[in-house]
Every structure is written in C-alpha cells, then in structure tokens.
Amino acid sequence: MLIAIAGALIISTSAPLVRLAEVTPATSAFFRCAYAVPPMLVLAWLERRRLGPLTGRPRRLAWVAGLTFAFDLLFWHHTIDYVGAGLATVLGNLQVFIVAFAAWALFRERPSTPLMIATPVVFGGVVLISGVFDSAAYGADPALGVLTGVATSISYAAFLLLMKAGSGRAAGPLAHATVVATLAIAALSPLFGGASFVPQWPAHGWLLLLALGPQVLGWLLITYSLPRQPAVLTALLLLVQPVTTVVLSAVTLGERPSALQLAGCAVVVLGVLYGSRRGQAGRATREQDEQVPNTSTV
C-alpha cells in the first residue's frame, strides 16, 4: 500500500508540471512519454536479464495498455487547459467506480463492505473538490472540461485494468506501454490540436522533469503495486492525487480552492484511509480463513 501511495504522490505533480511547460496538450502528452522511453528501456533490459523476455499475452496487453494510456494523456492534458491542474486531476481520477465494477466482473474481486462504503464517501469528496456547488466555476471551459475529464477516467480505468492483468512485472510492461503510447500520441496529435516536435527551453525542462518523475518513477511504483492488491483498492489509493495536486496548484500556479473544495480534500483522505485499511484487514482475514480448513484436513 505504501508503494502505491508513494507512486500516487509523485504522479500528483503531473498537472502542475504540464501547466508550467506552457505548451499545447498534444505536445506535453507526447514528450512526457518520449523523454521517458530511454530510462524505461534501460530498466526493462535490467528486468529482462533477471526474469527473461516479456512475451505472449503479457506483451500484447502492455501494447493495448499503451494505446489506452495515449488517449488518457491526450484527453487529460486538454482537461488541464479547460479547468486547471487541480480540478483536471480530480476529473481524471473518477476511474475508481469504473475499476470497481470492471474488476468485479473480470477478476471476481468482490469489493469488501468497508471499501464499498468508502467509495461513495470518496466520491462525495471528489464532487466537493470539483467546485460544482460553488457560485464561481473555475476554468476556461468547465463544461467541456467535464466531458474530456470523463473520457480521461474511462481511458485511465482501461489502462489500470490492462496493466493489472499482465505479467506482474513493473519495468517491462510499462516500457512497452510507454513506447506504444509515444507512437500513438504522435499519430493522433492532429486530432487533438496538433503537437510541436521541436524542443524549446525552458518548456522542455519541465517536460523532462515530468517524464523522469511522474512518468518513470511514479508509474513504476504504481505498476509494481497493481498486481499485488485488488484493482479497486489501487484506484482508491490513486485518489490521493487530486488532494496533493490541489495543494501544489495553489502554491505553484496560484489556483485557489474554495472552502468546499478543501473540505472535499479532507473527505477524500479520510475515505482512502478507511477503505484501504479495512480492505487490507479483510483480505488478511480471508487468507487466514482459507488456511484454517486446509490445516484441519491434513
């Protein structure tokens, strides 16, 4: 759980770094992946030396995950333009509900009662953070931002589930997914406002930091944790992102959340703590219960 939280905290710097780069959404989406490819290939090579090549179904799943990640980034970077870094991160993390029901259907991971209780509580916090109850909506086009934010959540949920269904490795699948995402973003960029492929300073200093920090280190930690815990729990933990991003956006970009949005941050944190702690306890209890009959029948 701590690894997932660390990854989520690192990834929470993504939106502020995108805003600081001040480039088009397709440009920032492309270079955050392109700059991440070389270190990811090195890490994947080191992993391959220990575990062998990534082949067959896990590799194909990583390729499909890369395509969904491309759509995730393209939609999300547009959402940042429409509603700001903090609210865009909130809208991009609504995947918790998609993951919860998809994981139930695909992986037979029936959510525990406390986790299901925590989910609507967290959603309530997300709604407060979004500012829908505030008289003055923040952002250039909040309505369009909601649409691209929902599209981001759907793509993000697909990416998480595909990575979870893979080999259980960290570097190899993420390297394959990053390469595919880079190529897909380049091909799709004309449909998303176009991208500039000529590096400029200081914009690309921020993009390089975005690639090495959230894209490489943050997602390595998240990818490592995905197969080792229920998918819905990982998605719930990733909701730490909007809380941290709202704070960072206020400090670095001057985005000022309202009192209701700050209350939403507190609700999200409490919901994540309750859902993850009780969920782990429930899983440990189930594992102990499964061991008891086996011991008694020996």
How many CB atoms are located within 10 Å of the residue 204 CB? 19
pTM for the whole structure: 0.77
CA atoms within 13 A on the CB side of 25: 23
Cα–Cα distance for residue pair 62/159, rounded to 1 Å:
9
Could you report the per-residue pLDDT of 207-242, keeping only the tens digit for each? 999 999 988 888 778 767 766 666 555 556 656 777
**pLDDT single digits (tens) 17-70:** 999 999 999 999 999 999 999 998 999 999 899 988 888 888 999 999 999 999
Residue with tokens 């392109």: 34
- Is 171:220 a contact under the CB 8 Å cutoff? yes
Q: Give the pLDDT score at 279.
A: 43
212 is written with which tokens? 């090495």
Q: At what angle do helices 240-252 and 14-21 cross, to 10 degrees?
A: 40
What is the CA 242 to chain-centroid distance, rounded?
10
C-alpha–C-alpha distance, residues 42 and 175, integer Å: 9
Q: How many CA atoms lie within 13 A of 41 on its CB side?
A: 8
DSSP state of 254: -
